[in-house]
Amino acid sequence: MDSTTKKLYTALGVIFIFLVWYISSIIIDNEIILPKIDAVFKALIKILGEKKTYLIIFSTLLRLLITIAISFIIGLSLGILSIKFSKVYAFLSPNIAMFRSIPVVSIIIILLIIFGSNLAPIIITSLVVLPIIYEGVYTSFKSIDKSLIDDITTISDVNIKVIKDVYMPMTKPYIISSLVTSFGFGFKVMVMSEFISQPNNSMGKVILYNREMLNMDVVFAWTLIIIFLVILFESILKKVKQTGE
């Protein structure tokens, strides 16, 4: 499929979503359950015209970027150790599996009690993102041709320089793929964590407040902002991945 055809079908998919939304809102005819498209876009325009909106978006994105940065450093370090020492991989496997299977809502409530509303969203999102990054790093290093690794080890031990100059360029596409997944999934978890823990200047808290006030047009407008931001940043990361290939 060429790029023009792909763009056409993507546009048709978007139109279909809005068509279903338009027809459903007419059938339901209840703004509290499903607000109409025009009401949501009026709310969206109003939201984008307020300075505080950008502070809220920046605060949530900053929490997410801090979380991904910390998770990436830990995930990269653990991935390298797991490749170098099989015992480390065996030790970490059940722990990573546990992190992946923890019910998010339950752990948010526990962490909220322990760490408070500001740290809880960062910690819970890191617990969700870390396994994705770790497995991406481990899989990418594991996929390197063993004969190449043998050639490298005959010349030098696996050190920081070898990792930076040899391993990292070869594993870059895999790692960026894990970052793309981490950002999209992490953003959703971050907003949900904020929704429950309600830190100041957060998208989750704004959504919760407007839901309680039954301002569903505002809730839908913020949801559109979240979808746009996820698509935007995932597109940027995919462009970076394509550039590096």
What pLDDT score does 159 carry?
56
Q: Is the pLDDT of residue 184 over 70?
A: yes
Rounded to 5 degrees, φ, ψ at 17 are -60, -45
CA distance 80 to 126: 19
CA distance 232 to 242: 15
Residue 15 identity (one-letter amino acid)? I
What pLDDT score does 155 carry?
57
Q: Which of 134, 125, 132 is nearest to 196 (CA)?
A: 125
Q: Is the pLDDT of residue 57 over 90?
A: yes
User: Rounded to two decimals, what is the model's pTM?
Assistant: 0.81
Q: Is the pLDDT of residue 164 over 70?
A: no
